Amino acid sequence: DSGVTQTPKHLITATGQRVTLRCSPRSGDLSVYWYQQSLDQGLQFLIQYYNGEERAKGNILERFSAQQFPDLHSELNLSSLELGDSALYFCASSVGPGLDGVHNEQFFGPGTRLTVL
């Protein structure tokens, strides 16, 4: 158990709908990362938050948004869903930036499997 929790575990919805994925980081971790794992794109970084602020953005679609709340949990919102958004969405957390450019380990949650029908 990594200490990172994600809900729900599975989500089945229809095209055009909107869903919210939730992540609670490990106790004490300030950074939260979201990754998407799909068969055709592999594992891709979406977005990172550090202590409530957006820190880095990857290949995140405009239909997707995220935020990190004062209690440090994070939510990933996916809207106008398309079939191609079906994937496993992982959240990871770390204590934050490391020293001398050596970043701290990221701990991954079990993921939310999204199926868009």
Partner 1 sequence: GDSVTQMEGPVTLSEEAFLTINCTYTATGYPSLFWYVQYPGEGLQLLLKATKADDKGSNKGFEATYRKETTSFHLEKGSVQVSDSAVYFCALSGRDFGNEKLTFGTGTRLTIIP
CA angle 103, 101, 69 (to 5 degrees): 50
Does 24 contact partner 1 by CB under 8 A?
A: no
Choice between 45 and 52, CB closer to partner 1: 45
Please report how close the Cβ of residue 82 comes to partner 1 at its closest, in angstroms: 23
The one among 58, 63, 65, 115 contacting partner 1 by CB under 8 A: 58
Backbone angles phi, psi at 80, to 5 degrees: 45, 50
Choice between 86 and 108, CB closer to partner 1: 108
Q: Residue 83: how many CB atoms within 10 A of its CB?
A: 9
Q: Residue 111: how many CB atoms within 10 A of its CB?
A: 19
Q: Where are the alpha helices (DSSP H) in the chain?
A: none
Choice between 14 and 105, CB closer to partner 1: 105
- On the question of a cis peptide bond just before residue 110, with omega within 30 degrees of 0, the verdict is no
* Count of residues in contact with partner 1, rule CB under 8 A: 28
Q: Residue 115: how many CB atoms within 10 A of its CB?
A: 12
- Point out which span in 11-19, 22-30, 35-43, 77-85 binds partner 1 (CB under 8 A): 35-43
Choice between 18 and 39, CB closer to partner 1: 39
Integer Cα distance of 45 and 35 in angstroms: 4
Give the binding site for partner 1 (CB under 8 A). 2, 4, 31, 33, 35, 42-45, 48, 55-56, 58, 90, 92, 94, 97, 100-103, 105-111
